[in-house]
Structure 1
């Protein structure tokens, strides 16, 4: 879960919840909800803010990276993907929105192959 990854990285860095919230410019209470998995759908904007002080990436936080021990997967993304992700974050796209879009694409591909 996203919250578990954030908490683990925060503790590895030696940050308290208050310190990380201040460094990232996010609400301490919301960060706490995320870490305790009471809130499971943070926006990409929130994840972007949290990733920076934790020296990690959004894909790592989401658990979508193939190399769990190396959180700096964004070095492998080409510029077009980086621009696309940054634009989605700025526009407030949530993880749920992204997952729904993926499902839609899968459905359209399935439909076109029928």
Structure 2
């Protein structure tokens, strides 16, 4: 992550949506006091479950909370980007890729 903390990102998005801390905590089903400690950077490592709840209410991805840039080129290994682009160019869709991953997991579990 760059110079923007997860807490600052959450606070910025919350304010853009014109939500109070109370409103966001209630809609996400999280503790108001915990959300406040995150926003004030007193707690720096929120759980994935917490981030999922907050991201859903704010209408963003969990990755956008973790990374200051939504553009994967900013944080993703260039080799992965190249592989993804090559797969897309060859006509592989997301469902086919998911099936391939499931097959690989199954194959690995058989060993």
Is TM > 0.5 for Structure 1 vs Structure 2? yes
The size of the alignment, in residue pairs, is 71
Gaps of 5+ in 1: 69-77, 81-114
The residue that corresponds to 1:48 in the other structure is: 52
| Structure of larger gyration radius | 2
**Deviation of residue 20 (structure 1)?**
0.1
Q: CA deviation at 1:64?
A: 6.3
TM-score, normalised on structure 1?
0.58
Paired residue for 1:7? 11
Gaps in structure 2 of 5+ consecutive residues: 73-93, 99-111
Which of 12, 16, 34 does residue 20 from structure 2 map onto? Answer: 16
RMSD: 1.8
Which residue does the alignment assign to 1:59? 63
